[in-house]
Amino acid sequence: MDVYVIRGMSNSYLTSNGLLIDAGVRVRDVLRISREQGVEVRYLLITHYHIDHIRYAWDIVKQFHCSVVASVADARVIEGEEKPRAAGFLQLLVSRLFRFRPVKVNLKVNDGDVIEGYEAIYAPGHTPGSTAYFKDGVLFSGDAIVEREGKPVLPPRGFTVNMSEAMKSFSKLMSLKPKVIYPGHGKPIVVG
């Protein structure tokens, strides 16, 4: 499986089998990569409800007619039925400055559910329903793990609703012994 990095407000990743992870990039950038690589976007997997990961979800769904996958715990925010919990003033400010169009979550996943061979791994802390996706040593971590100086690290405290839970989730994800981590921010991390 090949993974194509698309940079924007956050990282998004397109897999060669048609999964797009997160929607923090403009649809034109996704369209360009999908055309260049000959990949049709079939699923949009959302790792968590922060604006930098869902801002362009509506546009992506409109363009590709793909199914949206997100955790049960974050789905109501993504669908516009609930307001997101803000971790602090800066996050509250960011969520007020940037708007998104709610999008229907077609598949609401729980810990352990499998989508196209990827296991949904519940990783709360950054948001209540933060979810990573794992298959064959490849981990799409969202912001449950971010990259700093080539290493996996915790998400920033100012954007994390429960740091204690985030630490437990970080340990849980690292215990999977991923070979490559594709984080929501930073560069892909080759582990060990």
CATH of the domain at 171: 3.60.15.10
Please name the residue ranges forming H helices in the chain.
Answer: 27-37, 51-54, 57-64, 72-78, 89-97, 163-174
Residue 82 pLDDT: 79
Say which residues have a Cβ less than 8 Å from residue 170's Cβ, sequence separation at least 6: 123, 125, 144, 145, 152, 154
- Tell me the two tokens of residue 162: 């429960």
pLDDT for position 160: 86
pTM of the model as a whole: 0.93
Domain hosting 33: range is 3-190
Q: What residue ranges of the chain have pLDDT lower than 50?
A: none
Domain count, the chain: 1
pLDDT given for residue 138 in this prediction: 98
Say which residues have a Cβ less than 8 Å from residue 96's Cβ, sequence separation at least 6: none
Structure-block tokens of residue 63 = 């363009």
Q: ∠122-101-90 over CA atoms, to 5°?
A: 65
- Position 96 scores a pLDDT of 60
